[in-house]
Amino acid sequence: MYFNMTRNLFLFVFFFNSLILFSQKKRVNIDSIIKSDNHIVFKNISYGPDKKNTLDLWIADSKLKSPFVIYIHGGGFGAGSKNAAYSKNNFKRIKRLLENKISFATIDYTFKNNEDFLFSSFNDAKRALQFLKFNSEKYNLLRDRVALMGASAGATSSLWIGLQDDMSDKNSSDPVLRESTKVSCIVGMAAAHSLNLKRWKDMANVDEAYLKSIFKKYLGKMDAEKWVQKSFDDNYISEVDFFEKMDTDDPPIFIVNYGKNRKPKNIADFHHNPLHAKVLKQRADSLNIKNVVYAPGIGIIDKSRQGVVEFIIENLN
């Protein structure tokens, strides 16, 4: 009985903390915090050509170079901003990272569009990582000790970057793009296990017509016929999907998908389904990739009870 009470208390606390991770309300006044606590912060650094290619960088108080985390906000690849990192509860995590000599960046990026759908978002996040590595001397960062952390769309962007082979372009005329995209660990909150919609269909046990109808609603004013067709095309899937590219050299992953396994009613339901966490864990276990996975709604609770910040500290320090 005591075990069940303890387990239920853990589930409640964990579920509550998972919810507040996504909250973008009650943001802290970072300008006043910067002044009062003497933080070293570079706001709105331009990391690329688009006006949305900006990031904030919080430098850990250390004479030595510091590891760093890059936070990629959620919003379905069509909303949100880097300020999502500044909700009261999210900012507590930032402070804990800084106290442990880990710097922190939060980025803005361009959204889904009719030309390349999600690739602009993915490539912006990739460039932000490469930009900070390229400028590691300037900002006193350790270029080979980096964590990617994201919520929802940002979680999937983090996995898209971190679970692929190095995507540096050694022949690029842009020195930023010559930087490695390898990272030390990945944190994904409400992450999708794959960008292959065929996998989503099988995972959720729905028919293709049902999935396509929901996907079309998500596309909104975009060319639905074009992107539905491409999203089920094997060549396109091979470009966007990271699940099949996972291998034994991949970094540790921390995944949490809350909620129960219900029939999805919209694209967010599909993307946040706890079965994504289950499938990622199965794949990681089969490849001996270190993983900490929580999907309490379907009974998956990592034995370590390790939290997000503890996971990052362990894998960066």
CATH number for the domain spanning 239: value is 3.40.50.1820
Beta strand spans in 112-235 (E): 141-151, 185-189
Q: What is the pLDDT of residues 272-306, one digit of tens each?
A: 999 999 999 999 999 999 999 999 999 999 999 99
d(C-alpha 241, C-alpha 196), whole Å: 6
d(C-alpha 273, C-alpha 290), whole Å: 22
Range of the domain at 118: 2-296
157 falls within a domain: yes
Q: What's the pLDDT at 25? A: 56
313 falls within a domain: no
Q: Are 147 and 194 in contact (CB under 8 A)?
A: no
310 falls within a domain: no
Angle (CA) 240-244-248 rounded to 5° is 125
d(C-alpha 313, C-alpha 310), whole Å: 5
139 falls within a domain: yes
185 falls within a domain: yes
Domain count, the chain: 1
Q: Which residues, including other chains, have CB under 8 Å from residue 62's CB and lie 6 or more apart? A: 101, 140
303 falls within a domain: no
317 falls within a domain: no
Closest listed residue to residue 315, CA positions, set 187, 190, 188: 187
Q: What is the pLDDT of residues 186-231, one digit of tens each?
A: 999 999 999 999 999 999 999 999 999 999 999 999 999 999 999 9
301 falls within a domain: no
Task: Please give the torsion angle defined by the CA atoms of residues 175, 248, 76 and 111, in that order, rounded to the nearest 10 degrees.
Answer: 20
Q: What is the pLDDT of residues 88-146, one digit of tens each?
A: 889 999 999 999 999 999 999 999 999 999 999 999 999 999 999 999 999 999 999 99
